[in-house]
A = this chain, B = another copy of it.
Amino acid sequence: MTIGVDVDFGENGLVPAIAQDVETGVVLMLAYVNEEALSKTVETGYAHYYSRSRQQLWKKGGTSGHTQQIDSIRVDCDKDTLLYRVEQTGGACHTGKESCFYRTIDGEAVESVETVFDPDEIYD
């Protein structure tokens, strides 16, 4: 894999990756990425992350079918954060919302964030 920018994965080998819908600009989610997950993302054209709780690589949508096709990957000035610009199939959030950011800090629903699927029909 050829990557032009030398990403700084730091002491724990992870960087945060923000997923943004390339068409709507909606910030969908944030998850963590190690070198292997970034490689898989570049190679396959679909967003992969590293689960800190399960300690394993995962393909977004591997279970739900709600994949994220990569339009482009950007890196920030410090080279320690990624921005996945994606075409989201279905919704990004396991709750059925299009984005994981469906609440304000006050606990109020963000009306512009739509419910796009029924999680009971997707997950066991």
Contact = CB atoms under 8 A, between A and B. Distances in A.
Nearest to A101: B74
Contacts of A101: 74-76, 81, 83
A30 B5 contact: no
Given A16-B16, A95-B77, A5 B83 contact: no
Give the number of times this chain occurs in the complex, counting copies. Answer: 2
Contacts of A120: none
Given A77-B94, A101-B75, A5 B82 contact: no
Interface string A1-16: 0111101000000001
A121 interface: no
B100 A77 contact: yes
